[in-house]
Chain A
Amino acid sequence: MSPEPTRPRIPLHLSMDDPEPMYRQIESQLRAFILSGVLEPGTRLPSMRALAGDLSCSIITTRRAYEDLEAEGFILTRQGVGTVVAEMPEEKLTAHRRRVVAGAMGEAVRAGRRAGLTEGELRDILEEALQREATNVHQGGAL
């Protein structure tokens, strides 16, 4: 056995109890790492086979995730180099970040509806949350 070159590892995690298919879980976690800047442009990603091994999933799943992310412009595969995080235009990154927040807000609104809250009450809650965060930031309590 020749010693293996060090290979990139990324803290991904698959939950079999999650109703989302595994390739979607990989996609959304990688997307989040890229959008938040944890994975910077040019960062080398594990090969599809290595990632499948790390996650105990099949290479069919990792290939599907990489192909989707490549189609969305998040990553690119270079001959001889492997898969790396792509350089993305700022407006595209901003749009993606907005979409993530909009999704979370939508979820919060639906939770409010289920709890029987009115629109006005929801606005109040958002306002309170904004103020609380502002105070936290001021006191250095939040990141």
Chain B
Amino acid sequence: MKETPVLSLRGIRKAYGDFELGPLDLRVEPGYVVAVVGPNGGGKSTLMRMLMGLIQPDSGEMSIFGGAYPDDEVAIKQRIGYVPERPVGHDEMSANSLGEFVSRFYPRWEHRAYEEHLERARIGPDRRFGELSRGVQRRLSFALALSTGAELLLLDEPTAGVDPFARREMIEDISRFVRGGTPAGGRTVVFATQVMEEVRRLADYVAFLVDGSLLGLYEKDALLEGWKIFWVDGEPEDDVPGVVEVEGGSPARMVSDSPRATAKALAARHIPIVCGGAMDLEEILSHLMRRSREQSVGGRRSRT
């Protein structure tokens, strides 16, 4: 099945002073949820803004829904609901007038949905954006993006500063958006986040952006299944296949990136496994990051 990808980036580069993003290669098919994660200054927001055509890459090819900026800008953007990291020029506008303003760009704008989102977030229609707390501002931006009738949501840390209860509702809103897709018209979400709970709950793929480079577009479940912790009795040996880190102690804690090979080797050496289990996504990603930084000798400096 060769559909037109929602996003396709090939060899995309962008330099800012001593920060360089790319070269990025990324392809996202319709119907998937991609979480963009990585340390601050790694290029997440730069990538998101580039996908919205707000920043032009220095080189490389980028197509969105098969079109390209600037020629197809209007057609592309009518299909994207965007939550920027920092909305520009919203401060003086009320929730109502923001809705009216944004609706002009979106032929499929859903006014009723917008009202419902505001109601649920307890945002009065006359409240000015600038007088809302950071968390409530995020919810308002999110409500705008969700009401556009878009097929693609580009969300740049949509829940930053949002309280855990509201965050739960937003996660549910995103799942509902994705479920609303049909086999013929999948709905796609690309969201940047620092919150692993959101990645765990929502993502199919994890795009891991570190120091301006994409370490990989990982299948989330494959990552979780591919890394395990083994607690073993006795003196830990450091040459067990698959084991990438050992913490001594009794029992000793081993981190493996090939659990099957590790389990087999431990059994062959008659080393009893006290217990074993899953690893946090954070810890897996930290290992991947460390590995990549060790490999790139004198790696590029990141923007802070």
Could you tell me which A residues sit within 8 Å of B by CB distance?
1, 4, 16-17, 19, 21-23, 47, 49-50, 52-53, 56-61
Given A16-B278, A19-B263, A19-B276; A60-B221 close (CB under 8 Å):
yes
Nearest-neighbour CB distance to chain A for B176, whole angstroms, equals 7
**Interface CB pairs A-B, < 8 A, 21:** A4-B179, A17-B276, A17-B277, A19-B228, A19-B263, A22-B224, A22-B225, A49-B31, A49-B181, A53-B175, A53-B179, A56-B200, A57-B220, A57-B221, A58-B205, A58-B220, A58-B221, A59-B31, A59-B32, A60-B221, A61-B221
What number of B residues sit within 8 Å (CB to CB) of A?
28
When C-beta atoms are compared, the residue in chain B nearest to A22 turns out to be B221
B200–A58 CB distance below 8 A: no
Total contacts A to B, CB within 8 angstroms?
52
- Chain B residue numbers with a CB within 8 Å of A49 are 31, 178-179, 181
Question: Which of A1, A19, A47, A50 has most chain B Cβ within 10 Å?
Answer: A1
* Whole-angstrom CA separation of A52 from B221 in the bound complex: 11
Nearest-neighbour CB distance to chain A for B142, whole angstroms, equals 13
* Residue from the list B31, B117, B224 in contact with A16, Cβ < 8 A: B224
The 10 closest A-B CB pairs, nearest first, are A16-B278, A17-B277, A58-B204, A53-B175, A61-B221, A58-B221, A1-B113, A56-B201, A58-B220, A49-B179
Given A1-B116, A16-B224, A19-B263; A60-B219 close (CB under 8 Å):
yes
Interface of B is mostly: helix
* Whole-angstrom CA separation of A58 from B220 in the bound complex: 7
- Chain A residue numbers with a CB within 8 Å of B113 are 1
* Whole-angstrom CA separation of A11 from B228 in the bound complex: 26
When C-beta atoms are compared, the residue in chain B nearest to A17 turns out to be B277
- Chain A residue numbers with a CB within 8 Å of B277 are 16-17
| B81 at the binding interface (Cβ < 8 Å) | no
- Chain A residue numbers with a CB within 8 Å of B201 are 56
> 18 additional contacts, CB 8 Å, given A16-B277, A21-B221, A50-B179?
A1-B112, A1-B113, A1-B116, A1-B117, A4-B176, A17-B278, A22-B225, A23-B221, A47-B179, A49-B181, A53-B175, A57-B220, A58-B203, A58-B205, A58-B220, A59-B31, A59-B33, A60-B221
* Whole-angstrom CA separation of A1 from B220 in the bound complex: 29
Nearest-neighbour CB distance to chain A for B190, whole angstroms, equals 15
List which B209-226 residues lie within 8 A (CB) of chain A: 219-221, 224-225
